[in-house]
Every structure is written in structure tokens, then in C-alpha cells.
Amino acid sequence: MANKVGPKGQIVIEKEIRDRLHVETGWLAIQAIVDDHVEIHFVPPKRTPSLRGALARYTSVTVAPGEEWDRARERAWDESVTEDYLPPHQGP
């Protein structure tokens, strides 16, 4: 199995591998350099896949759809990953 690295440095994890490891959309792919190669460990999310609207009654903040929403979501995801998976000294 071989794949080319895309223009953004992305690669495809073969379906056979994802199926065998039961990797699903939304999982984290934690990468580490080991000797002269990369190891990838897949971690399922800690939270329920969809809690859409569950906290709406506790906030008055609204984010418009589009680029603003995308930036807010990415920022929240980055903060969550940093808090949940990285030791304090390895944050972005």
C-alpha cells in the first residue's frame, strides 16, 4: 500500500487499515517519530459525537456560519486536544 503525499502534506490511511482498527471520522491521529519512521496511534473522541445545541441555554454567544464558524470550531478543537491529550509543556 502506497500513497502520494498531497500538496498540504496529507496522506490517506487505507480503508483496509481503518476498518481493521475500527477508526472512524473524528478520531485523533497522534503521530510520533520513532527512530527513522512515523507511528500513528488512533484515539476515539472522549465525548459523544453530537451534542449539538446541548449547551445553548447556558450561553448567549452565537457564531455566524461560514469562515467565522470554521475558525471558532478549529480553535475549540485545538484547545480540546491540547487539554485532553498533550502534556502541559507540549501545547501549541
Indicate whether 57 and 37 sit together in one domain: no
- Higher pLDDT, residue 54 or 28: 28
The answer, as to whether pTM is greater than 0.85, is no
Indicate whether 40 and 53 sit together in one domain: no
Neighbouring-strand partners of residue 1: none
Indicate whether 79 and 59 sit together in one domain: yes
pLDDT in tens, 40-65: 999 988 766 566 677 777 777 777 78
Mean pLDDT of 15-42: 93
Domain holding 87, by residue range, is 49-92
Indicate whether 35 and 66 sit together in one domain: no
Indicate whether 35 and 61 sit together in one domain: no
pLDDT band of residue 34 (cuts 50, 70, 90) is very high
